[in-house]
């Protein structure tokens, strides 16, 4: 099998292994996942989302780290953005408390 010259060496290695290699390992061998590149290893995670808290909670499971998801889990309230963020625990003080909680998990 001839390797195309334009391929990155790591990609070429995977290409040489054939199409089944990625399927067996769920990702190309020797390359970290995109999440591993973006987040520090084994650091707890706090997600903050101006929507349902569980929307971003999957990141903790994907990274295998403790996670404290913050977000809007009850609907129907009205008020200013600051008032609503306080009701739903999305102000900076709540985020700091969530981070301290995550560190203790």
pLDDT digits (tens, 9 = 90+) for 80-93: 999 999 999 999 99
The average confidence (pLDDT) of the chain is 80
> Does residue 55 surpass a pLDDT of 80?
yes
Q: Are 18 and 53 in the same domain?
A: no
Stretch 66-92: mean pLDDT: 91
Closest CA to 98 of 65, 70, 74, 63: 70
Task: Count structural domains, the chain.
Answer: 2
Residue 98 sits in the same domain as residue 55: yes
Q: How many CA atoms lie within 13 A of 16 on its CB side?
A: 12
**Residues 87, 93: contact at Cβ < 8 Å?**
no
- pLDDT score at 83: 94
Q: Do 19 and 41 have their domain in common?
A: no
Residue 8 or 74, more confident: 74
Q: What is the reported pLDDT for 1?
A: 52
Residue numbers of the domain that contains 99: 35-104
Residue 11 sits in the same domain as residue 52: no
DSSP reduced 3-state for 45? strand
Tell whether 43 and 91 lie within a shared domain: yes
Burial level of 19, CB count in 10 A (0-12/13-18/19+)? Answer: exposed
């Amino acid at each position: 099998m001839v390797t195309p010259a334009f391929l990155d060496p790591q990609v070429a290695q995977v290409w040489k292994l054939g199409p089944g290699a990625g399927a067996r390992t769920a990702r190309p061998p020797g390359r970290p996942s995109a999440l591993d590149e973006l987040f520090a290893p084994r650091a707890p995670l706090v997600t903050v989302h101006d929507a349902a808290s569980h929307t971003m909670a999957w990141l903790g499971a994907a990274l295998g780290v403790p996670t404290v998801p913050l977000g809007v889990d009850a609907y129907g309230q009205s008020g200013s953005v600051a008032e609503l963020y306080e009701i739903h625990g999305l102000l900076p003080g709540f985020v700091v408390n969530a981070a301290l909680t995550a560190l203790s998990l």
